[in-house]
Amino acid sequence: MTDFFVDTKFHVRYAETDAMGIVHHSSYIVWFEEGRSEFMRRIGLPYSKVEDMGFYFSVLEVNARYISPAVYDDIVVVRTRLVEVKSRKLAIRYEVLRDADGKLLAEGNSLHICLNREFKIARMPQELFDLLKRHCVCEE
């Protein structure tokens, strides 16, 4: 697969804005999580299924770069790509775009480690690894 991504679209909610009327920086991290959850659903692997298998993808690191503000009632698109899959690790890239004009508002990344039910670092099962790898825009 050359450029697999999932777009998640929604309106900016009033509660996500700050006193200046723009989206508060912390909201973008929540949006990244929404994009990541939708990505997993679309490839047929909702987080609930991963947990049923006895595994978790814990966040090790997350970062965001803010480029242009979003405001209340903008429709935004979170574009989510899986960019690295290792036996115990995932890396995901996000772009937040304004739907009306396609303007890039923010971009970021998150790094995740696979844990088992005992919250110990673990290799993900082969079937899980293979499914993720098929949907990865891996930068190797």
> In Å, how far are 5, 72, 81, 110, 140 from 84, measured between CA atoms?
13, 33, 9, 11, 8
At 29, list the tokens.
């991290």
73 is catalytic: no
Q: Catalytic one among 18, 73, 99, 130?
A: 18
At 60, list the tokens.
């090790």
**What whole-number distance in Å separates Cα of residue 86 and Cα of residue 133?**
9
Cα 112–chain centre separation: 10
Catalytic residues: 18
